[in-house]
Structure 1
C-alpha cells in the first residue's frame, strides 16, 4: 500500500553526544554558513537530521542563470536527484514517488530568500528537531530514524499549518518542509506527530481506507499532545459539533473507500459538501479524545497498534463503521 501522510512520564536514558557533518559549500554559497547534518542517539536508537537548503539554493541559482533546461528538469537535477542519493546512501526505504511532495515553484525569489533565512537559523532548527526526537523516543522507542528538512514551496498555504508541511514517507524517514514563520514549539510538535507515524508504520499495518487515514492522523496528534501538552494547533482546540457534522456524515458514507482523492477532500476541504480544510485532523482528534474518555487506562503502546476500526468502535463514533 502506498502510505500517505500528508498531518507521560519521562524515563532517564543516557544520551550519546551529537556530532555534525558540515557540507562542502559550492562557490555560489560561500557567503552563507554551510548546512549541517546532525547524528545522535538515545539508548539503542540512532537519529539523523539531513538538511537540503543548499540543494534548494542550487536550484534557485540555476533558474536565475536561465538555463536551457526547464524549471522541472532543473529541480529534478538540483533537488530531487541529490535527495534520492542521500536516501540511498542512508539505506532508507523508498515507498513513494516524491513528485507529489517535491516540485518547483513560480516564486523562485521567495524560495531563495526563505532558504537563506532558514539556513542561517539551522542551528536552532536542528536543535528543535533533535529535542523532539529525543522527547518522543522516551515515550515510544523504535528503529533508527532520519529526518530530512528543507524549505517549503512558498506557494503552499501553510498559515494554518504553522509554517510546516511534514510527511512520513516510511517508517525509516520523515520529510519536514518549513518556511521562516515556523516556531520552535510548533516544529517540535510536528516532529513528534510524524515520529508517532513512523512507530505506527513500524509496529502496525496502517490500513488503506479513508477511515484508517483519519484515525492515523488522530493518533499522531494524540501522541504529540502527550509529548507537548502546552502546544496548541488549531484542530486540537475545541471544535463546534456543527463544523464537523457534514464531514462525519461523509466519513460514514466513504470511510471504507481506498480512494485517496476522496481523502483529499478531508485534507483540503470541499465547499460543495461543507467539508472544511483539515477536517481529517479535526475528526481524527475528536475520535481519539473520545476513545481516551472511554478507555482511560489505555497505554500508548496499546492504542498505537490498535486497529482503527477498534479505536472507532471504542469511542462515541462507532456509528461511522457501516459494516
Structure 2
C-alpha cells in the first residue's frame, strides 16, 4: 500500500515539475537571432538596403521599464538616434510615425512577433522588389522597417491590413508593419512605394500640385494592383455619383494648387466641403483607369514618366465629366 501511494505521489510531483518546466520554457523562450541590418540586396543593377530597428526598440523597452518617467528621452536616444544614423533628421521626427510610444506592452508584442517573422518579412520585401524592378527599373534605394506603434494603429491596422508605407524621399522608403501583416499586402505596399520613389527620380524635389498628387497616387496604385491584384490594400470606396460631381468640380478648379490645407482635405476628407477621405487616391485611380483604357499600348515606363498634365489630357476624364 505504501509503495502504491509513493508511486502516485511521485507521478504527481513529476507532472507538476514538467508543467512548471514547460511554462518556464515558454515564458523564457529566447527570441531568434536578429538578421543583419542593413541587409544588402542586389536586383539587376540596383542595390537595396533593408534596415530593421528591432534592437533599438528592444533597448528602448528595456530602459523604459526601468525609467517609466523618462520614456521620451529614452526613445530619442535609442530608436530615433538609430534612424538619424541612417540618414533621417530631427525635423523628420515630427511625423506621427515617430511619436514616442506609450503602450509599451502592446509595442513589445509587436516587436517580438516581427522578430519571429523577420525572415518572412524580409523575403517578401525582396520578392516584391524583384517583381517591381522587372517591370520598372530604377536606382538604388533604402527600405526602413518601422513597427507600427500603438498610437497610429487606428490609421493603419483597421483600414490597411496592418501595413502602411511612406516614400520618404526619392532614396528612402519607410514601411510600417504590424504583427498581423499579410504577405500579399506587404508586397503591394512595397510595389506602391517603390513606384513613388522611382517617379521621384524623374520628378525631382519640387512641391506637387493637387493634380500631380492625384496622378502620383493613381500611378502607384495602378502599378501595385497590376502586380498584386489579389491584395485588398486599395481600401477606399469609389465616389458616389453625388460625391463625384461635387469633388471633381473642386478638383478641376484647383489643379495647379499647392495649398497644403487643400491637399490635406483631399487626403483625409473635409465634411464641410463634402470631400470624402482618400479623394486624392480615388481621383488618381480614375484618371489612370481612363488613360489606360484609351491608351492600352502605353508601357509602364512610358506612363510612369508621363507628366501629370499630359496624363490628364490623354485620359479625357474631366472632359467626360463635363459632357
Report TM bin, short chain.
0.7 to 0.9
**1:49 and 2:50 aligned:** yes
Cα gap change, 1:39 to 1:225, in 2 (>3 Å): same
Q: 1:251 to 1:35 in 2, by over 3 A?
A: farther
Question: Following the alignment from structure 1 to structure 2, what is the Cα–Cα distance between the partners of residues 76 and 83?
Answer: 10
Question: Do 1:235 and 1:285's aligned partners in 2 also have CA atoms closer than 8 Å?
Answer: no
Inter-partner Cα distance in structure 2 for 1:120 and 1:102: 23
Q: 3-state DSSP class of the match of 2:58?
A: helix
**Which has the larger share of helix?**
2
The reply on whether 1:99 has 2:94 as its aligned counterpart is yes
- After superposition, residues 126-275 of structure 1 pair within 5 angstroms as 126-156=122-152, 157=154, 158=156, 159-205=158-204, 207-235=207-235, 240-275=240-275
> Which structure 2 residues correspond to residues 41-120 of structure 1 after superposition, within 5 A?
41-66=42-67, 69=70, 71-87=71-87, 97-100=92-95, 101-120=97-116
- CA-to-partner distance for each residue in 1:53-85, whole Å, 9 max, x for gaps? 22223223322222553x332222111111121
Per-residue deviation at 1:218? 0.7
TM-score normalised by structure 2 residue count:
0.80
Distance in 2, Cα, partners of 1:241 & 1:234: 20
Q: Is the 8 A contact 2:125 2:186 kept in 1?
A: yes
Give per-residue Cα distances to partners, 1:276-315, cap 9 Å, x unaligned: 2222211111111111112111111111111111111111
Q: In the aligned structure 2, how far is the partner of 1:305 from the partner of 1:87? A: 27
Runs of 5+ consecutive residues of structure 2 not aligned to the other structure: 1-27
| Over 6 Å off, 4+ runs | none
Give the Cα separation in 2 of the matches to 1:35 and 1:274. Answer: 48
Displacement of 1:99 in angstroms is 2.2
Shift in Å, 1:208: 1.8
Deviations 1:85-142 (A, max 9, x none): 1238xxxxx7972321411133232122111111111111111101000110001111
Q: 1:62 to 1:146 in 2, by over 3 A?
A: same
* 2-structure distance, mates of 1:84, 1:267: 28
Deviation at 1:153, TM superposition (A): 2.0
SS at match of 2:281: helix
In structure 1, C-alpha distance between the alignment counterparts of 2:238 and 2:267, rounded to whole Å: 19
1:146-186 CA-to-partner distances (Å, cap 9, x unmatched) read: 11112112222212122122001122120001112210000
Answer with 1 or 2: which has the greater Rg: 2
Shift of 1:237: 6.9
Asked if the contact 1:210/1:260 (under 8 Å) is kept, the reply is no
Partner secondary structure for residue 56 of structure 1:
helix
Q: What's 1:14 paired with?
A: none
In 2, the alpha carbon distance for the partners of 1:127 and 1:242 equals 44
Whole-Å Cα distance in 1 between the matches of residues 318 and 93 of structure 2? 35
User: 2:160–2:235: 8 Å Cα contact kept in structure 1?
Assistant: no
Greater relative contact order (CA < 8 Å, ≥ 6 in sequence): 1
Deviation at 1:212, TM superposition (A): 1.0
